[in-house]
Amino acid sequence: MVAYALIALFVLLPLVRVGGVPLVLLDIPARRFHIFGQTFLPTDTLLLALLVVMVFLTVFWLTALFGRVWCGWACPQTVYMEFLFRPLERFFEGAPGRKPKGWIQTSGIGKPLKFVTYLTCSLVLAHVFLAYFVSWDLLRQWVIGAPSEHPLGFGVVMLVTAGMLFNFGYFREQVCLVACPYGRFQSVMLDRHSITVRYDRARGEPRTAKRADVQLPVVGVEAAAGDCIDCRMCVTTCPTGIDIRNGLQMECVGCAQCIDACDTVMSKVKRPTGLIRYSSLAAMSGERFRVLRPRVVLYPVVILLLSGLFAFTLANTGVADVTVLRGPGQPFTVMPSGDVENNLRLKLVNRTTKIADFEVKVEGVDGVRLGAEGVVRVDPGQTLTSPLPVLLPRSAFEHGRKQIRIVVRGPEGFERRVAHVALGPSEHSDHRNKEEHRKDPGESGEEEHK
């Protein structure tokens, strides 16, 4: 049930739209990440870093509590492999170790039919996968348009489809064993009290070497024999092919299929189920199970702190990012009118999904004003840097400096005030200019104008 709910979720996440934006779209070409109604831009490095760290810490925490619960229960690789491709294989070719039955499995048509079905599933999954990275509208154009109209898009879809087919048809759990680094970290994240899939050695050994379909107990053997009848169903059913009776191994993805297989066998031989079950090393050794351990407490505390920082940063982002920069070249110009012009630059990031007009004003001293249009239009998700000439009366400066405020107002009541220190001539330079003017009025006047 969890697996099929997750398959539905994986498909729906990039397709369902809220406010015209997909729930999840990692739009790399446009450099915008839409995640659950929030848009992240390349400037949101801190937010994205916090998000990634929180996701990793949550996985570490769950691993400390329940082992590789992510791998066995929620990883798309396991979910699609064990609940879509493997059942299809069993349907067309029969279960491993069992006689083929039915016309499809015995007539030889099963193998080609399986390939066609795998190809179809891979094609659909490739589109679902790409919908996380390419907007659905663009993907629809790729689907309905001729390949010659979009050779690059067509090539990408074919490449991803071939990758899916290779992965689920051939490579399979090698991804977990060879390509995924998570299993190798497992041992450092677990402790004696972590709940993982375990074989009850005390109950199972010594094995009786009886097949599952043979009725036990045999009189006289019952007292000495363990519950494991060595039918190897737990090994046969294991996707990574390990024998859980040898203890927890790096290759175990925690899928619990050996639990189901062994429980079926135990029911058949009329023994209690749970010979293989979720348990901890401590519990299996007869120790008291401890839920609260340092790492199990520390992880959520750090996650909680990071969540607070994330929420605070997010709440302060608003609909736009505003930055005031100094312009290139000389810091100020004394105009013929006597005013002092600071050539600033205004960098605006429109974080919304609509075109937005931002009204720009300057305040902080009498007579201060903008030397350009006071409205800036920015496309959705785009960054625009525009010149922002600011004019101040010469008398406003103290020691060549004057604090002003750039006020930017936008949609949804957005208002941001950015303090900025405008530069101008100091009393010292005025005095020097007067001196120079006395000596050579023509030359100093020209210089000041420059």
- Positions in the binding site for ligand SF4 (CB under 6 A): 197, 204, 228-234, 237-240, 242, 244-245, 252-258, 261-262, 265, 275-276
As a whole number of angstroms, the distance between CA 356 and CA 319 comes to: 9
State the minimum distance, in angstroms, from the CB of residue 64 to ligand SF4.
18
Residue 430 CB contacts under 8 Å (≥ 6 apart), including other chains: none
Nearer to ligand SF4, 96 or 329 (CB): 96
State the minimum distance, in angstroms, from the CB of residue 281 to ligand SF4.
15
State the minimum distance, in angstroms, from the CB of residue 66 to ligand SF4.
12
Nearer to ligand SF4, 112 or 272 (CB): 272
As a whole number of angstroms, the distance between CA 212 and CA 243 comes to: 17
Number of CB atoms found within 10 A of residue 345's CB: 15
State the minimum distance, in angstroms, from the CB of residue 181 to ligand SF4.
17
Residue 390 CB contacts under 8 Å (≥ 6 apart), including other chains: 341, 342, 344, 362, 368, 369, 370, 371, 404, 406, 422
State the minimum distance, in angstroms, from the CB of residue 244 to ligand SF4.
4
Nearer to ligand SF4, 231 or 322 (CB): 231
Nearer to ligand SF4, 225 or 253 (CB): 253
Q: Specify the amino acid at residue 50.
A: L
State the minimum distance, in angstroms, from the CB of residue 284 to ligand SF4.
14
State the minimum distance, in angstroms, from the CB of residue 192 to ligand SF4.
19
How far from chain centre, in Å, is Cα 387? 36
Angle, alpha carbons 195-199-203 (nearest 5°): 120
Nearer to ligand SF4, 233 or 324 (CB): 233
Nearer to ligand SF4, 126 or 233 (CB): 233
Nearer to ligand SF4, 54 or 197 (CB): 197
Q: Which of 315, 292, 369, 303 lies closest to 337, judged by CA?
A: 369
Strands 401-409, 24-27: parallel, antiparallel or unpaired by DSSP? unpaired
Q: DSSP letters of 184-245?
A: HHHHHH--TT--EEEE-HHHHPSP----TTS--PPTTTTTT--S-----HHHHH-TT---GG
